[in-house]
Structures are given as C-alpha cells and as structure tokens.
Chains A and B, each alone.
Chain A
Amino acid sequence: MERILDTMREKGASTALILGFFVAWELFCLVANISDILLPRPTQIVAALVKFWPAIWPHTYQTLYTTLVGFSIGVVIGLFLGVLIGSSRLAYDTAYPLLVGFSSIPKVAVVPIFVLWYGAGTVPAILTAMIICIFPIVVNVATGIATVEPELEDVMKTLKASKLDILWNVSLPRSMPYFFAALKVAITLAFVGSVVAETVASNRGIGNMMMIASSSFNVPLVFAGLFVLAGLGVTLYVLFSLIEHRVTGWAHRKTDLASP
C-alpha cells in the first residue's frame, strides 16, 4: 500500500511538472503578449493539431514508418557488429577505429549522398535513421560481451563449451541490459535521423510538413509537428523501457525483484 502511494507521489510530481510547464508557457505568452508567429500558445498548438489532423496523419505515418524501418535494420546490423566486435579481440582492434570514424561524421552530412543515390523520399530517411542508431548499439553490445568475467569463461571452456554455447548462454544474456540501454538512445536518435532527412529531401513526413508550414508562417502547425514527434518519441521510449524491464529485470533488482 505504501509503495503504491509512493509511486503515485512520484508520478504525481512529474505530471505536475509537465502540466506546470505548459501552464507557465501559456501564461507567459498571454502576459507578454507574444505573437503566435513567434511562439504559439499550447492551446493554439493543440487546436492546430486537431484542426489539421487529417493532413498531419499521413505525415506522422510516414515518419513513424521510416523511423521504425531504419531503426529495425540498424538494430539488426548493430547487434550483429556488436557481437562480432565484442567476441574477438582482433575484430575489436581492427574495426573499432573505422567505426569511430564513421560515427563522428555528422549524419546530416550524409543525407545529400543518400539522395544522390536513391533520390528524395523514403529511402534516404530510412538509411539516415539506420546509420544514426547503429553506433550506440554496437558499442554497448560489444562492451557487454567483452566484459564477461574471465573466470566464467574458464568455467565454460572446461565444460568444453563451443563459442556459440558461450555466446548464447552467457555473453548475449549478459549484454542485454547494455543492449536495451542502447535501444532507448537509438530510438530517439532514429527520429532525429528520419526527420533530418525529411527536412532536407522529401515530400512527405513530419519534417517536410514542418518545413512547408514554416514557409507559410503557419507556426502553430510547426509546433504541432514538434508535439507529434515528442509524442512518438516518448511512446516508443516507454515501450522499450517496459520490454527492458521484463527482459532484464535481473539487472534492476534493487527496485522490485528483491521484494516478493
């Protein structure tokens, strides 16, 4: 009972903070008499969201689609590379510098190249979302796999376990908390990637919609686009947190597993 009250208090505080933020925003705009071309009030944004929803929805769908497809491909590639790099010293030493080089390129800069190859539209957005989320996943998974206790590896080797046995029974489950931490970072980054690509070169998607809206000074619609992106990002983040808690609850034992 006390725990329920505690969680309510915690949740209550953060809800109050979020509401307070929007109320303060609204009041600030009203009191300072700020034009909605500069900074629309939250109520105006929500009104725009409702009013233009039939027009916003296809863009939302497009952005969600490119982000999720890019993210999924990125996760698969990242997991694969992470396992590869984490399980072999040679692969680690060989591939890591190249990987760091790739990851230090600002991802906006590669969009024009993707456009050159595939034309404007869906594919560059997917690819941008993909490459932006590969790196955090590779690094985290590789770390999880490379830091298996040597004693445990010895125990497995004396059991004549194959590399695959060790990977499947020890390294992979062990790297799951790292993997999920990376997923939460990667999903938000994937949105950055797809929206950037849409802004630069696409005729669909939230990024594109915001570009068009801002060029016609429909600022509430621009902000409505931001709200949609925030909503999508938060939803997916929460989704992965829930999955994470189910799959890797053992790594967060302090919170609830310990108490029956």
Chain B
Amino acid sequence: MNAQVRPADPGSTAAPSAPFIEFENASITYGKGARAVQALAPTSLKIAEGEFVALVGPSGCGKSTILKMVGELLKPSTGFVFVAGREIGANPIRIGMAYQNPTLLPWLNIRDNVMLPLKIVPPFRQAFRAKRNSEFRDRVETLLKQVGLAGFAEKFPFQLSGGMMQRANLCRALVHDPDLLLLDEPFGALDQFTREELWAVMQDLWLSKKLTVILVTHDLREAAYLASRICVMSARPGRILDDQIVELPRPRTIDMTFQPDFVELNQKLRAMIVGARGGTGIVSHPPGAA
C-alpha cells in the first residue's frame, strides 16, 4: 500500500524533455480573510506531452480546480502553472474542453455545433468562411465517423440521446486539433453501457491523435481503463496523495477490467480515496492486505 506522496517523476514517463504542464506549488484559495477556504493546497505536478492523466479523489478535493487552472479559467492564488513552458495566459497551445453537461447549442445542427471552435480558434478562424463547406466540413465528417455519429451531422441536439450528444461534445472538443484535452467527468451522466462504449471511443481517439489528456472522474474503472497515469487526491484542501503509472497494455478492453491486476488496481485506488475522505470506509476487508 503506497499512500504517501510521491511526486511525479517525468523520467519514468514517455517524454524526458521539459514537462508539457507544470504546477509549481500552485494553490487556490477562495474567499478572503477569516472566511478563506483553501481548495487546493500548494501542489507540484508535472505532466509530459502525450500523457493521459486521470485525477480521482473525493468530491470537493480540487480536481476540477486543477483542470480549470490548466484551462486558464482560474489563476493560482500562490505558485505558478506553466503550460508548454510558459505561464498560463501566455501559452500558445490549443485546448479542447468537455464537461459532463454536453452544452451543445440547440439552434445549430450537429455539424455546426462541432464546427464552433473552428469559427473562433486561429488559424482556422481566418479561413472559416472559405473552408466551412469544404475542408472543415470533411474534417467534422471524419470526426463524427470516428465517434460513431456518421450520418447525424444534420440532426439537431434534441434529436439525439445523451450518449450521442456526449459524442458530439467530444468532437467539438477535438475538432480544432487541440494539443491538450481537458475532460471534466464527461461520461458521468451516462448509463453503464454507453459509458463503456465511449471509453473505447475515447481510447481510440487518444491512441490515434496522441494528445495530452487530463480527465477528472469519480469512476475508478474509467480512470484505470483510460489513463496512463492516475493521481489520487485528498479531501479539501486538495493534495496529491498518490501518483502512479498504469502499466496495463493498450488497447484496453472491457474484458480486461475484470482481470485480477485491473481489479487490484481499482481496489487500491478505492482504498486510498476512502482513506482520503477520512471516513470509515465501506470496504469490508482491510485495504492493501494483499
């Protein structure tokens, strides 16, 4: 049972170069004075390019806070966050983001919804008028096909099921070739089977595009299935309790999630989170007894 803080070691991951994302004692405090609440304790974290990092932990532990800092939606109260070697706000990378709520625009069909980032992000933005009916259209079509939405481009969001909307949401997050994909419980509201289907879709996308992904999730199976590295966080104020590489081979399958090594990893994560909640876990056996 390895529950102490072990800072990420970039040497053990794929890229030996400068980390793609780096947190340097970054913390977040909401509010001021006596009512200040520290959501995230000073955290240092390095993520290499091409990694698929899952953040797991009890609710309110600052997982989404980390995601928001990387996405430049929050500035750290203390410390620094660097993306691609530059402090946030100045980085030149493209980011895609998907939440649990698909937030597709109801007045646009799926094609135009997915195209939205191309309207906004340079260099696509400048060419949008010229290419919206040719190159960009094909680009959307290809993506939709990849996630199993071929033939749905003309449909409107309300004509789609929750799982299909979430697929379209993923396409929207990926259409502008982001260097970094931020996912905040994207599959949280879906039923088990749709969720597992989308795990496979997500894994294929990651394997084919080799982008960096940060996934916030409550679902430990999801984390272990998708991620190449899992960070377990403590209850508020959030700290990274454990940081480990998932060694399972790719492509992973649903069947693998029932294999002993997968189940063992799951139980280990679960025990850590139960411990982090400071609660009397519902675990019926002592964690890490093996």
Complex Cα distance A250/B107, Å? 5
B99 touches A159 (CB 8 A): no
Stretch in A183-191, A224-232, A251-259 touching the partner: A251-259
Q: What is the 8 Å Cβ interface bit string for chain A, positions 152-171, against chain B (1 contact, 0 not)?
A: 10111111110001000110
Contacts of B95 in A (CB 8 A): 158-159
- Chain B, Cβ-Cβ closest to A166: B120
Please report whether the interface of chain B is mostly helix, strand, loop or mixed according to DSSP: mixed
B120 touches A158 (CB 8 A): no
B158 touches A253 (CB 8 A): yes
Stretch in B13-21, B67-75, B221-229, B238-246 touching the partner: B67-75
- Chain A, Cβ-Cβ closest to B172: A155
Given A170-B105, A173-B107, A258-B158, does the pair A154, B121 have CB atoms closer than 8 Å?
A: no
B103 touches A169 (CB 8 A): no
Pick from B106, B172, B176: contact of A250, CB below 8 A: B106
Please report whether the interface of chain A is mostly helix, strand, loop or mixed according to DSSP: helix
Contacts of A157 in B (CB 8 A): 71-73
B120 touches A258 (CB 8 A): no
Complex Cα distance A158/B74, Å? 11
Pick from B68, B99, B120: contact of A161, CB below 8 A: B120
B110 within 8 A of A: no
A248 within 8 A of B: yes
Q: Which residues 53-74 of B sit at the A interface, judged by CB distance below 8 A? A: 68, 71-73
Given A158-B72, A158-B95, A161-B120, does the pair A151, B103 have CB atoms closer than 8 Å?
A: yes
- Chain A, Cβ-Cβ closest to B118: A159
Complex Cα distance A157/B71, Å? 8
B159 within 8 A of A: yes
Given A173-B105, A250-B106, A251-B106, does the pair A155, B159 have CB atoms closer than 8 Å?
A: no
Complex Cα distance A167/B52, Å? 33
Q: Which residues 77-119 of B sit at the A interface, judged by CB distance below 8 A? A: 95-99, 101, 103, 105-107, 116-117, 119
Some 14 contacts from A to B, beta carbons below 8 A apart, are: A154-B73, A154-B97, A154-B99, A155-B99, A155-B173, A156-B120, A157-B72, A158-B71, A158-B95, A158-B96, A169-B120, A174-B107, A248-B107, A251-B107
Q: Which residues of B contact A (CB under 8 A)?
A: 68, 71-73, 95-99, 101, 103, 105-107, 116-117, 119-121, 156, 158-159, 172-173, 176, 182
Beyond A151-B99, A251-B106, 16 extra complex contacts between A and B, CB < 8 Å = A149-B101, A149-B103, A151-B101, A154-B71, A155-B99, A155-B103, A156-B120, A157-B71, A158-B73, A158-B95, A160-B120, A161-B120, A169-B105, A173-B107, A174-B107, A258-B158
